């Protein structure tokens, strides 16, 4: 260990390096910028660092790295979190394997931002745990604990410093370079039941997240938990304000972040006997309820000093209501502190003097004022034990529905979603699968019809997070496992929606992957809406199509090939050739959606030639292929005549189809 005089962002960077971070991705924005720059400066070859094209791309690259077991960090400012929220919201439901810390630097004031936003509020919305440092030294230790918590719980974790912590300086003790942890990623382990987001998985994981956060709230109050050390109570100074003697008001101050430092500095100017009890909240979500309850016991009034949102104030109101504590909670909601803007030592000092001084001069009024319904608001609530509807007597009302004497309806059969018969996406996945054989590969999918490529027998979607994320997740995995052949599948509509950014990110940051654009000339999953590549607008105008191939070449890709996936032999040969090229390359699998294109002819099976090997069923999984009497038949009501099964059959037993 040694001592360094560090800016807060330098300390965060060194804390991440001490924790063994493997991958850091971000987008520059004051006050967060220096974190990534210092990781690059101090980390050397032990860590991969990139400026991503935007915060969404950064979040997805880091997610891919964390899927592979790496410790990853994303850096951005509060408005950048808005851009990253698309993958983040889904990532919380999917989870991670390696630790993933999301460094979001808030900018109260704002000093150099478009908006004032409070990441503590976003953490509640996203259900993501958050650490809130009060000093440079604490930021250094918190980032390491954030990695530990993230890895232990399999969840992203926020670190939320504000400008005064990011750009403040302090002499702190830090680890020597030879003391830094070495984190060896396990690598990506394929498990579509974990890494591919579907509604059923989301419902199950949501319940787990709620249970986890309730448990963490208890842990954050438990002195036996390392993370609980960030939530603590500074005892009152004694005498009239801090003690419970006589009729003196018993006061408390609840605070967090840099405001905690301002509170302590301001209270130093008070007589010791006049100093109130102080609650410092370092993990505002999940909120340390038990710690707060102990703090509130025996108090009459509490002033919440925080920036920007009344997060602690609302939480304390809930604690008071839940446990029937007659404590008046004051702060932004009561007008005792400004509702917006940055706190300063002067503004905090003035608020504390007004809060403590008025009560010292008017001791006898506390008991009278703390009545529910008064302007100052009390959180003293009547606890009834059971909810009673307005106007009800308290007795359970009889249901107006009468018992149904009809027999129960039969249970519906389970019909898992599958790609349509003749869907060109099936042919695209199958071509890549045959071309790669047993090579170590990862297939990162996306949102759309082609998410269904995860099902057996194709099993060609290893990850799916949000629109456009497959391209950047593949990059994250590739940076951790350079020996893995990385593929990313994206639809034509999704390519325009959010895939272009990922390709730019890959090209700029010298990734090595094959981007597969599944171009069926429509937005199929949601009802065949037009997009920029279709050549027509929602108003019915015929316009010039935006060429995916030209866009890719304009980015800088030199290898861009277009192939009909239903020409199986050519598609396989194309995949082998393109995937062997270094850097970022693309294959456009172009074939129209079968729902929009009518088949010219149907395939049929020659029963005399069919030997019943069922290879067509076992490799393609097309719903038009049906086992029958030991052989295979084709359901003519489903068949589109795509001819893929004809090309797969080793005995030439299927014929008659005609591709569009």
Q: What is the pLDDT of residue 388?
A: 35
DSSP 391-457: T--SSPPPPSSPPP-SPPPPPPPP----PPTT-HHHHHHHHHHHHHTTS-EEEE--SSGGGGGGSTT
482 with 520, same domain: the answer is yes
109 with 183, same domain: the answer is yes
Q: What is the pLDDT of residue 565?
A: 96
440 with 562, same domain: the answer is yes
Of 437, 488, 479, 433, nearest in space to 456 by CA: 433
Q: What is the pLDDT of residue 406?
A: 73
Is residue 111 situated within a structural domain? yes
636 with 496, same domain: the answer is no
- What spatial distance separates the first Cα and last Cα of the chain, rounded to whole Å? 70
Q: What is the pLDDT of residue 367?
A: 36
DSSP 365-393: HHHHH--TTSTT--------SS---TT--
More confident residue, 212 or 114: 212
Q: What is the pLDDT of residue 529?
A: 87
Is residue 643 situated within a structural domain? yes
259 with 298, same domain: the answer is yes
Is residue 384 situated within a structural domain? no
Whats the size of the chain, residue-wise? 660
% of the chain exceeding 70 in pLDDT: 91
Residue 250 has pLDDT above 50, yes or no: yes
In the numeric block, the tokens 């106007």 are attached to 391
- Out of 146, 173, 208, a domain closes at 208
From residue 453, alpha-carbon distances to 330, 448, 493 in Å are: 55, 10, 17
Is residue 380 situated within a structural domain? no
- The 3-state DSSP class for residue 309 equals coil
Residue 245 has pLDDT above 90, yes or no: no
Lowest mean pLDDT among 335-344, 407-416, 583-592: 407-416
- CATH code of the domain covering residue 531: 3.40.50.970
7 with 137, same domain: the answer is yes
Q: What is the pLDDT of residue 350?
A: 93
341 with 468, same domain: the answer is no
Residue 372 has pLDDT above 50, yes or no: no
Q: Any residues with CB less than 8 A from the CB of 521 and at least 6 apart, and which?
A: 492, 533, 534, 590, 592, 593, 596
Euclidean distance between CA atoms 5 and 648, whole angstroms: 68
Lowest mean pLDDT among 290-299, 393-402, 461-470: 393-402
Confirm if 565 and 571 have CB atoms less than 8 A apart: yes
- Record the pTM: 0.88
Euclidean distance between CA atoms 215 and 226, whole angstroms: 14
- CATH code of the domain covering residue 651: 3.30.70.20
Residue 501 has pLDDT above 90, yes or no: yes
Q: What is the pLDDT of residue 357?
A: 80
Share the mean pLDDT of the chain.
89
Of 544, 473, 456, 106, nearest in space to 307 by CA: 106
pLDDT band at 531 (very low <50, low <70, confident <90, very high): confident
580 with 631, same domain: the answer is no
pLDDT band at 383 (very low <50, low <70, confident <90, very high): very low
Would you give the DSSP letter of residue 498?
A: I
More confident residue, 350 or 409: 350
Would you give the DSSP letter of residue 86?
A: H
Region 635-655: what's the mean pLDDT? 94
Domain that holds residue 323: 229-369
- Out of 590, 616, 642, a domain closes at 590
Confirm if 146 and 230 have CB atoms less than 8 A apart: no
183 with 304, same domain: the answer is no
Confirm if 553 and 580 have CB atoms less than 8 A apart: no
Q: What is the pLDDT of residue 552?
A: 98
Q: What is the pLDDT of residue 404?
A: 54
Euclidean distance between CA atoms 100 and 158, whole angstroms: 9
Is residue 214 situated within a structural domain? no
> pLDDT digits over 188-203, tens only?
999 999 999 988 899 9
Q: What is the pLDDT of residue 65?
A: 98
Of 439, 122, 446, nearest in space to 308 by CA: 122
Q: What is the pLDDT of residue 361?
A: 57
Region 57-72: what's the mean pLDDT? 98
Is residue 94 situated within a structural domain? yes
Lowest mean pLDDT among 62-76, 205-219, 259-273: 259-273
Region 552-562: what's the mean pLDDT? 97
Is it true that the peptide bond before 286 is cis, omega within 30 degrees of 0? yes
199 with 326, same domain: the answer is no
Residue 624 has pLDDT above 90, yes or no: yes
From residue 281, alpha-carbon distances to 145, 260, 295, 319 in Å are: 16, 9, 11, 14
pLDDT band at 392 (very low <50, low <70, confident <90, very high): very low
Confirm if 460 and 511 have CB atoms less than 8 A apart: no
Phi, psi values for residue 325, rounded to 5°: -90, 130
Number of domains the chain is built from: 4
Q: What is the pLDDT of residue 405?
A: 64
576 with 459, same domain: the answer is yes
- Out of 560, 590, 620, a domain closes at 590
Region 271-294: what's the mean pLDDT? 94
More confident residue, 526 or 115: 115
Residue 291 has pLDDT above 80, yes or no: yes
Residue 505 has pLDDT above 70, yes or no: yes
Residue 476 has pLDDT above 90, yes or no: yes
Quote the tokens at residue 622: 């097309």
Euclidean distance between CA atoms 536 and 552, whole angstroms: 21
- CATH code of the domain covering residue 275: 3.40.50.920
163 with 23, same domain: the answer is yes
Q: What is the pLDDT of residue 362?
A: 52
Q: Is 538 exposed, middle or buried (0-12, 13-18, 19+ CB in 10 A)?
A: exposed
Is residue 398 situated within a structural domain? no
Is residue 78 situated within a structural domain? yes
Residue 521 has pLDDT above 70, yes or no: yes
């Amino acid at each position: 260990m040694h001592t360094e005089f560090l800016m807060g962002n330098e300390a965060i960077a060194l804390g991440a390096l001490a924790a063994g971070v493997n991958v850091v991705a971000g987008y520059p924005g004051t006050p967060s910028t220096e974190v990534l720059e210092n990781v690059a400066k101090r980390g050397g070859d032990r860590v991969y660092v990139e400026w991503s094209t935007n915060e969404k791309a950064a979040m997805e690259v880091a997610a891919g790295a964390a899927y592979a077991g790496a410790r990853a960090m994303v850096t951005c400012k509060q408005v950048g979190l808005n851009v990253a929220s698309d993958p983040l919201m889904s990532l919380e439901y999917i989870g991670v394997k390696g630790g993933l810390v999301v460094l979001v630097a808030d900018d109260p004031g704002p000093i150099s931002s478009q908006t004032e936003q409070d990441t503590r509020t976003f953490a509640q919305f996203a259900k993501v745990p958050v650490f809130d440092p009060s000093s440079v030294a604490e930021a250094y230790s918190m980032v390491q604990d954030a990695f530990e918590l993230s890895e232990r719980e399999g969840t992203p974790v926020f670190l939320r410093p504000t400008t005064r912590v990011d750009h403040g300086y302090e002499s702190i003790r830090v680890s020597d370079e030879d003391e830094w942890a070495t984190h060896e990623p396990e690598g990506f382990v394929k498990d579509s039941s974990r890494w591919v987001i579907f509604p059923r998985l989301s419902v199950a994981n949501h319940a787990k997240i709620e249970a986890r956060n309730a448990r963490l709230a208890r842990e954050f109050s438990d002195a036996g938990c390392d993370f609980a050390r960030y939530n603590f109570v500074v005892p009152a100074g004694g005498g009239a304000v801090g003690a419970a003697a006589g009729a003196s008001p018993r006061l408390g101050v609840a605070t967090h972040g840099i405001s905690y430092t301002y509170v302590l500095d301001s209270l130093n100017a008070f007589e010791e006997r006049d100093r109130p009890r102080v609650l410092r909240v370092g993990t505002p979500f999940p909120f340390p309820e038990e710690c707060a309850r102990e703090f509130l016991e025996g108090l009459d009034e509490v002033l919440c000093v925080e920036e920007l949102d009344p997060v602690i104030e609302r939480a304390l109101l809930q604690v008071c209501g839940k446990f029937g504590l007659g404590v008046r909670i004051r702060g932004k909601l009561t007008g005792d502190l400004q509702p917006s803007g940055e706190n300063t030592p002067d503004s905090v000092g003035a608020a504390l003097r007004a809060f403590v001084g008025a009560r010292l001069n008017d001791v006898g009024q506390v008991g009278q004022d703390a009545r529910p319904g008064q302007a100052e608001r009390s959180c003293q609530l009547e606890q009834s034990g059971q909810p009673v509807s307005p106007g009800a007597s308290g007795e359970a009302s009889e249901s107006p529905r009468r018992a149904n004497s009809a027999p129960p309806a039969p249970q519906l059969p389970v019909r898992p979603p599958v790609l349509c018969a003749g869907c060109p996406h099936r042919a695209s996945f199958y071509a890549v699968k045959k071309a790669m054989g047993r090579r170590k590969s990862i297939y990162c999918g996306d949102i759309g019809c082609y998410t269904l490529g995860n099902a057996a027998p194709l099993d060609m979607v290893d990850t799916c997070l949000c629109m456009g994320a497959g391209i950047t997740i593949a990059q994250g995995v590739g940076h951790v496992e350079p020996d893995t052949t990385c593929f990313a599948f994206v639809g034509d509509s999704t390519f325009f929606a959010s895939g272009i950014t990922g390709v730019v990110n890959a090209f700029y940051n010298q990734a090595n992957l094959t981007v597969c654009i599944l171009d069926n000339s429509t937005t199929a999953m949601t009802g065949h809406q037009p997009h920029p590549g279709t050549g027509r607008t929602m108003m019915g105008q015929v316009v010039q199509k935006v060429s995916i191939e030209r866009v890719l070449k304009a980015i800088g890709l030199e290898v861009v090939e277009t192939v009909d996936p239903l020409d199986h032999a050519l598609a396989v040969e194309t995949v082998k050739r393109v995937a062997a090229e270094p850097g970022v390359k693309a294959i456009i699998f172009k074939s129209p959606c079968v729902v929009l294109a009518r088949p010219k002819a149907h395939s049929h099976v020659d029963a005399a030639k069919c030997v019943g090997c069922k290879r067509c069923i076992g490799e393609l999984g097309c719903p038009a292929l049906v086992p029958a009497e030991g052989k295979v038949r084709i359901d003519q009501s489903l068949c589109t005549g795509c001819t893929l099964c004809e090309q797969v059959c080793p005995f030439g037993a299927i014929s008659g189809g005609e591709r569009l």
